[in-house]
Amino acid sequence: MKLSDIAQVIRSKNAGPRRLTLDVMFASDADYQRVVQSPALGAAAIGRLYGVAPAEVIVIPYPAGRAIKIVMARRIMAGDPGDKDVYGAQQHAPLLGVEI
């Protein structure tokens, strides 16, 4: 099953000019538990997916909100030459195909 099949919301945004956040939210506790226990959204997997060191990835489960927040360093600072998404709003796309 792909993350996009089980998550209700998958989005991204800047957390300042040097950090990016990915938010994944679920409609049920069962869906949340299934994903939060999977290594598919661990720091190592996210690091590989986004090309950043796992040490630069923080995964924050939030059970009360049935959500997972992932914070990581941006490879290119927002607004610098080469940045294709100054707001970080399109950076969630690689998560859509993640297998759970």
The domain segmentation of the chain, as residue ranges, is 3-94
Please tell me the pTM assigned to this model. 0.93
Q: 91: how many CB neighbours lie within 10 A of its CB?
A: 20
**CATH topology for the 3-94 domain:** Alpha-Beta Plaits (3.30.70)
pLDDT band at 97 (very low <50, low <70, confident <90, very high): very high
Backbone angles phi, psi at 76, to 5 degrees: -125, 130
pLDDT in tens, 57-83: 999 999 999 999 999 999 899 999 999
